[in-house]
Chain A
Amino acid sequence: MARISLKVNGKSRVVEADPSTPLLYVLRDNLSLHGPRFGCGLGQCGACTVLVEGNTMRSCMLPVSAAENKSVTTLEGLGNVAHPHPIQAAFVEEQAAQCGYCMNGMVMGAKALLDKNPHPSVSDIKRSLNSYICRCGTHLRVIRAIQRVSNSSVKA
């Protein structure tokens, strides 16, 4: 066990954890941030995605010690039901989920994509989200939700 300093969603947090613990379990169990989810623990599905210094990371594969003093953003850091992020609002508009278990990955993946490319084409979207699994088959709605964000930012 060690004391580890993290910067999560803009706040400094100190946790007691085995430094080898994947960041995912620290976020979920120590900090009660349930946006990132356990889907495979193998880096294959994307359910655990967070942003570390603005880049997507599979938190199931990242020892918490490697995130020390880096800026971590989770799904909760984007917005909440009362004050949703435009991406979250667009997902609601498109009703772009079924069980929603994969949605952490979809929304965080969309965030990273739109930050770099505000007007992605459908094939840009497909390519950049190809490593995120959704077993319920909501892909078409996810694509529409991302296009909706991109279109509204044209008008803005």
Chain B
Amino acid sequence: METKSISRRDLLKSTGVLVVGFSFFGTAARALAQGEGLSVDGMDPTVLDSWLAISKDGTVTVFTGKVELGTGVVTALAQIVAEELDVSFNKVYMDSGDTDKAVDQGVTAAARTIERGGVQLRQASAAARQELLKLASTRLDSPVDKLTVTDGVVSVIGSPSKKIAYGDLLGGKRFNIKIVAAGVGWDMKVAPDVPAKNPKDYKIVGKSIPRVDLPEKFTGEFVYSQDASVPGMLHGRVVRPATSISAPASIDESSIKNIPGVVKIVREGTFVGVVAETEWAAIQAAQALKVTWSEPTLKMMSGPNEVFDYLKNTKSFKDNVVTNRGNLDAGFSQAQKKYEATYYWPFQLHGMMGPPCAVADVQGDKATIWTGTQGPFRTRDSIARMLNIPPKNVHLLYREGSGSYGRLESDDVAEDAALMSRAVGKPVRVQWMRADEHAWDPKGPAQLTTVKAGVDAQGNVIAWDFMDRSFPWSESDANPLLASSQIGMKPTGAGFLNGAGGGGQIYTFANQKVLAADIPWVQQGQWPLRTSNLRAPGDLARVFASESTIDEIAADQHVDPVQLRLRYLTSDKRISEILVATVKKAGWTDRPSPATASTGDKVTGRGVAVANRANTMTAAVAEIEVDKTTGDVTVKKITLGHDCGLIVNPDGLKNQIEGNVLQAVSRALLEEVQFDSTGQKNLDWNSYPVIRFEQVPDLEIVLIDRPDMQPLGGGEPSIVPVTAAIANAIFDATGARMRQVPFTPQRVLSALKA
């Protein structure tokens, strides 16, 4: 594979396209650039050489634990490095997600990568620039403050002939200096003492530089995790029914004896898989294999309603109070009018386009893994635990998979491949089938949200009591992955809170409480109702509830819904500014909802919502049409406003916003995981539909750029306000309130009757 990537890089170098994700240096060259004595437990973050290397020709290689997930983030990170070092963008090469070479910067979760990982790389680059200027000062015999850098060449201000290139200052040698690095993962502070460039001088950051990974993705030359291949590799498939699983009582080997090329049935604990010589043989064998499962100890729930009852009636194990102001009882006792409603959000899929895939080669006490994980170090450590070998014996090489939206933080397939490779002593490639992924995707959890509000005689909102009830992520950092749990490894933690943003804490009300309750859930369930982080975890449901409530109050008080919001959006002017800019772009006219009732079958409406996710401010205006006879909702247009501080790559950001908005429309109108006591029902794209071309609305984007701020998480926050904006638009069109997602024709019809 390395050989192939060299030729690819050479080919592409000639066309001026930068390659990401492949090592043309290889480990040996890394040792050359960084010196011997590499730490085997990942790189030492206090050594500058752990972060980057400069070769003789001036190429900058950045070693990063952050990985490209299809969001363009690695291009943006390369821009940040090029900017800080003053080298041209195409001299920066990102060596990404190799656990033998990179510092552990924590998992790549889209919204945090620029905000945290970007600042880490910026500071490491600033430290490198500082050191390069020091070296140049000696060589050019000129004080540092008389030096300037253009495209990696340091020269003396006023005498441009006195110059030296980075490559000549350092080429192929180590920096050999220590920097400050405190904390771990994405919270690590890197070289915080080194001054970085003034954003006013930015030339590369802020530009729409084309994505480095895209050209190959349109030609078939890009190598995904699904394309990883090593000599002598066999093919494996997993056997997992779409329901609670338990140990197999018996496996009928004769059921696959007529499929040629089957190598082995792998069975360990409740894990069953098949290894074969060809992919097609493995697929057929996994489908045909007759397994009789023993009675599962974990009962599937009877359906979504049982989940909502359980959410309602089960005591939380942790109440996360995010806002508590004034006195709620006093507020409600003064209220003239009270509002109360409950909102329902279903289990939803990440729905990766390509089922996950990994290649594992386990030989004795060593393992090499090629996979698309969002957390290279988390997956490495999990596999090491499962195989009972030291983490340093597992070498994980990142290969990008299909877009995953949080799903590949729990990179289950890599363990499946490792387990099967160990069983046959050969490298094994495992890809999940579509039904495996629909059933075993660790889903975005269901939520049940109750909002109570009180308004005084003057129409002021004086009481706000918000309670979200949801499940923690059963599949999260501390816990073993699926195969590990199938061979008996136990969970180590209670899981991770499904977020607490979006409960109306953006508003300032006199008496206000916002609470997110953690309801106990099966940890590491060997059942389809596993949970994990799905894009902007939990915020969509909470904003659906809080922004519907604000809208309901505005309508009831005969106030324009934007005007009512602005009264209470006093905590941060960025949020009122994005709201105002967005409604202006959408051509919003000041009037209360609902719209004057029209008489036809098809009615139109507009709705608005606003949100703050991790300090990125967003607002959405939805324009929709409802067919009152069928209940069909058509989203005509979304206007989306977005303020994430400093914008690194405007077109890249717009691409992300477009994708998030369309995914939001899809989740609002179409998506719900269905199951009953026998198992999950939607196991393909027909039974779990997602948005298609004919349902795609027009989209207008409003960006506010703030060069005086740090870059914040971009893109993902734009998924948050869309559901609520659509729900409010349905009310505007029809006078009917939607309380449950998705807004299927049936639910719209019953809301119209209510």
A contact residues vs B (CB 8 Å cutoff): 1, 17-18, 20-22, 25, 28-29, 32-42, 44-45, 47, 74-76, 78-82, 84, 88, 91-92, 95, 97-104, 107, 125-127, 129-141, 143
Q: Top 9 nearest A-B pairs by Cβ distance? A: A99-B70, A35-B220, A100-B217, A137-B662, A99-B403, A137-B659, A101-B402, A126-B693, A40-B434
CB of B219 within 8 A of CB of A100, answer no
Given A25-B280, A140-B699, A141-B655: A88 and B693 within 8 A (CB)?
no
- A interface SS class: loop
B685–A98 contact, CB under 8 A? no
Q: How far is the CB of B688 from chain A (nearest CB, A)?
A: 10
Which of A25, A47, A99, A104 is within 8 Å of B278, CB to CB?
A: A25
Interface hits, B323-353 → A, CB 8 Å: 351-353
Give complex CA distance A150, B216 in Å. Answer: 22
Contact B217 A103 (CB under 8 A): yes
Contact flags (1/0) for B157-168 with A, using CB distance below 8 Å? 000000000000
- Say whether A95 contacts B214, CB under 8 Å: yes
Closest A residue to B659 using CB positions: A137
CA of A88 to CA of B216, assembled, Å: 9
Contact between chains at A133 and B692 (CB < 8 Å): yes
A82 touches B686 (CB 8 A): no
Residues of A with C-beta under 8 A to B690? 133, 135
Q: List 11 A-B contacts (CB under 8 A).
A: A1-B260, A34-B223, A42-B434, A76-B220, A81-B17, A81-B216, A95-B651, A95-B652, A100-B217, A101-B70, A135-B353
Taking CB atoms, residues of chain B closer than 8 Å to A33 are 220
- Residue ID in chain A nearest B280 by CB atoms: A21
A residues in contact with B229, CB < 8 Å? 32
Residue from the list B219, B222, B260, B661 in contact with A18, Cβ < 8 A: B260
Complex Cα distance, B663 from A129, in Å, reads 17
List chain B residues, Cβ under 8 A from A45: 353, 685
* Binary contact readout B574-595 vs A (1 if CB under 8 angstroms, 0 otherwise): 0000000000000000000000
**Contact for B658 among A22, A37, A81, A138, CB less than 8 A:** A138
| Chain B residues, Cβ within 8 Å of A38 | 226, 354-355, 431
Tell whether, in the assembled complex, residue A92 and residue B434 are in contact, meaning their CB atoms are under 8 Å apart: no
Interchain CA distance A1-B280 in the complex, whole Å = 12
Minimum C-beta distance from A100 to chain B (A): 3
Determine the residue in chain A with the shortest Cβ distance to B660. Answer: A137
Contact with A along B493-527 (1 / 0, CB 8 A): 00000000000000000000000000000000000
10 further A-B contacts with Cβ under 8 Å, apart from A126-B694, A136-B353, are A34-B220, A38-B431, A40-B684, A41-B283, A81-B219, A88-B219, A98-B659, A100-B217, A101-B403, A133-B690
Whether A80 contacts B353 by the Cβ 8 Å rule is no
Alpha-carbon gap, A88 to B217, bound state (A): 9
Chain B contacts with A in 274-325, Cβ cutoff 8 A: 278-281, 283
Does chain A have a CB within 8 A of B29? no
Q: A82-B11, A101-B403, A130-B693 are in contact. Are A138 and B219 (CB under 8 A)?
A: no
Interface flag for B227 (CB, 8 Å): yes
Q: Mark B393-437, 1 if CB is under 8 A from A, else 0.
A: 000000011111000000000000000000000000001011000
* Contact status B222-A100, CB under 8 Å: yes
Please give, as numbers and ranges, the residues of chain B lying within 8 Å of A140 by CB-CB distance.
Answer: 658, 662, 696, 699
Count chain B residues whose beta carbon lies closer than 8 angstroms to a beta carbon of A.
66
- B280, A100: Cβ atoms closer than 8 Å: no
Measured CB to CB, the closest approach of chain A to B234, in angstroms, equals 11
Interface residues of B: mostly helix, strand, loop or mixed?
loop
Residues 640-667 of chain B, each 1 if its beta carbon lies under 8 Å from chain A, else 0: 0000000000011001101111110010
| Contact assessment for B218 and A99 in the assembled complex, using a CB-CB cutoff below 8 Å | no
Contact assessment for B696 and A126 in the assembled complex, using a CB-CB cutoff below 8 Å: yes
Interface residues of B (CB under 8 A from A): 11-12, 14-15, 17, 69-72, 210-211, 213-224, 226-227, 229, 260, 278-281, 283, 351-355, 400-404, 431, 433-434, 651-652, 655-656, 658-663, 666, 684-686, 690-694, 696, 699
Q: Is the CB of B655 within 8 A of A100?
A: no
- Taking a contact as CB atoms under 8 Å apart, the answer to whether B434 and A133 are in contact is no
- With A101-B353, A101-B402, A137-B663 as known contacts, state yes or no: A91 contacts B218, CB within 8 Å: yes
Among B72, B227, B279, B693, the residue within 8 A (CB) of A129 is B693
Residues of B contacting A34 in the complex (Cβ-Cβ under 8 angstroms):
220, 223-224, 226-227
**For residue A74, which residue of chain B has the nearest CB?**
B220
Closest to B223 in A: A34
B220 partner residues in chain A, CB cutoff 8 A = 33-36, 74-76, 104
Distance in Å: Cβ of A113 to nearest Cβ of chain B: 12
Q: Which residues of B contact A21 (CB under 8 A)?
A: 278, 280
Residues of B within 8 A of A143 (CB): 693
In the assembled complex, which residues on chain B have CB atoms less than 8 Å from the CB atom of A28? 227, 279
Q: How far is the CB of B717 from chain A (nearest CB, A)?
A: 15
| Chain B residues with CB under 8 A of A39 | 353-355, 434
Residues of B within 8 A of A92 (CB): 210, 214-215, 218
Cα(A130)–Cα(B281), bound, Å: 32
Contacting residues, chain A, for B352 (C-beta < 8 A): 101, 135
Q: Judge whether B659 and A75 touch: CB under 8 Å.
A: no
CA gap between A78 and B218 in the complex, in Å: 10
Q: Which residues on A sit within 8 Å (CB–CB) of B260?
A: 1, 18
Q: How far is the CA of A82 from the CA of B11 in the complex (A)?
A: 8
CA distance A13 to B660 in the complex (A): 42
Instruction: Name the distance in Å between A82's Cβ and chain B's nearest Cβ.
Output: 6
Distance A135 CA – B433 CA, assembled complex (angstroms): 17
* CB-defined contacts of A102 to chain B, threshold 8 Å: 353
Complex CA gap A139/B662 in Å reads 8
Chain A residues lying within 8 Å of B659, measured Cβ to Cβ, are 98, 136-138
CB of A52, distance to nearest CB on chain B (Å): 17
**Chain B contacts for A18, CB-based, 8 A:** 260, 278, 280-281
In the complex, what's the smallest C-beta–C-beta distance from A37 to chain B, in angstroms? 6
